[in-house]
Chains A and B, each alone.
Chain A
Amino acid sequence: MLQLERVSHAYGDIVSLRDVSLDLEPGEILCLLGPSGCGKTTLLRIIAGLETDYDGAVIFDREDIGAVPVHRRGFGLMFQDFALFPHLATADNIAYGLKRLGFNREEIGEKVQRLLQRVGLEGFDKRDVASLSGGQKQRVALARSLAPNPRLLMLDEPLGSLDAQLRDQLALELRQIIKSAGLSAIYVTHDHREAYAVADRIAVMNIGSVRQHGSPRQVYRRPACAFVARFLGLHNVFTTGDGRLTSLLGHAGDGSRGTGSTILIHPSGIRLESGRTDDTTPTEVTLETAVFRGESYDLTATTDFGPRLSFSVRELPVNVGEKLNVYILPDAIIPLED
């Protein structure tokens, strides 16, 4: 439905997007995930038509929409700072796009009521938007962008300004609302947990280009490069070719890989017991730190020969500073692109 073809963009001399190609299926939620300054917001603004100076093509329903002005695109955009109209009451904010479409008063009133209900703000019609809390503003902004029934909904860090607790809960709610409205959506965030909760598909971006895209599970299980792995909180990234690493991997590692290549040891594949069918040999490590996370402990452990491993366990096997044996499953070793 939406295709981006080799989209590039620069602010003066600073390149913000380099040959980005992506596509979006109808009814799909695509998440653009990346650190701040990676170009994800710029990409969103290009799709919305707010940024008109770019190379490449933005194609919607097989049509290049580069020349279509913002207000004719019929895309919804939810802003990071919500951008609520400060001089309009809550209901008038939501009604704004409907008025532009020429609906009559009754239709608008009815639609606004239904939207207020859907985002859980019944009875807020007359409220001054300045008096709303952060979470309420976020809901009004969502209702406003949903109101004209957009062909595509875009959300720019919609939960960025809210506190962490609220964020987890609202991310799920957002997904349900978007799905129940049957919309296609692009969702920008820098928080991978939020992305897992909302997205059907994730595109991880860095320095103006897409480094990997796939389902949340694919991206987490098999990150394509060191950047993606680290950005998703997977820290066991090592460079091979070092004898010490080879001995760490033991039988698990395929020593055939050339020197100087990069691998990830996925923390989910580091166990305290050997699997039933595997004949992996244990590696002796020293427990360095242990952070209690409620359901589990996050551990770091050092090996005698250098690299530090991070992984999680349910129960703390030994005290900090003591030695323990870990097993590295063969499929936990993932080669990364350079």
Chain B
Amino acid sequence: MALDRELVGRSYPPSAVYEVGRAKIAEFATAVGALDPVHLDADAARAAGHPDVIAPPTFAIVVSLDAAFVVLSDPEVGLDYSRVVHGEQKFTHHRPVRAGDRLVATTTIDAARTVAGNDLLTARVELAGEDGEPVCTAVSMLVARGA
């Protein structure tokens, strides 16, 4: 089904808080082979000027993709989840994600169009601290392949 352009600009309520832990950062960093000590050792991170270990640049996806997927459960969007693939991803880091962060994700539909029978939907997820400090803007373009 063709996506409704009226969806553009639609926002969803903020997510529950995601608390970033050192162990999760270490697990993710190890899984992608990012073994810089700033990801693994709080003392090394502090020596580099960070308050605690920082996450590798794509770690934000752990929080942001679930937030982007809220659009898929919106009945007015009507995308078939089983046909959805990840088309594009962009991160803009306002500062590195770090252990101790309590992140809240707010999702907005930035674009919706249908091209050659495929539905393309761009969800922008703003990750911020509980106090509103901007941390990362994660933009996911999701593609629902035409039947």
Q: Do the two chains belong together in a single complex?
A: no
Chain B residues within CB distance 8 Å of chain A: none
Question: Residues of A at under 8 Å CB distance from B?
Answer: none
